[in-house]
Amino acid sequence: MKKLLTLAFVLILLPILNGCGTLFARSSEATSGERYVDYYKGTHGDLMLLGFSSAGSGSGNPHAVICWFTIVCPVLTVVSLPADIVIDTALLPVDALVNQ
């Protein structure tokens, strides 16, 4: 019974943790200053959080610094990156309609 509860917990938690970048990037607060990113918003958010892409301000990316200091954040971001790519690909028609 304990193994079944553990499996159920993991199966419930897995979808919640995956796709974090996509959910964050599609919130109204995150997209207000980054209108140049029209497609693959979640993937861009993950890469920005890891420090591979700047926010366009030229002043660096303080979110990336905070993420790297927490040690867990880069691991979770890299783990959720494939799910964000799949979700962003599935949402390409929606992004194309919104950006017309």
pLDDT in tens, 45-76: 888 878 776 655 555 677 777 778 888 778 88
CB burial class (10 A; 0-12, 13-18, 19+) of residue 89?
exposed
Could you give the dihedral angle defined by the CA atoms of residues 37, 43, 44 and 47, in that order, rounded to the nearest 10 degrees? 180
> Is the pTM of the predicted complex or chain greater than 0.75?
no
Give the number of other CB atoms < 10 A from CB of residue 30. Answer: 17
42 vs 26: CA distance, rounded Å: 7
Reported as a single tens digit per residue, the pLDDT across 6-49 is 888 877 776 666 666 666 666 655 544 555 567 888 888 888 87
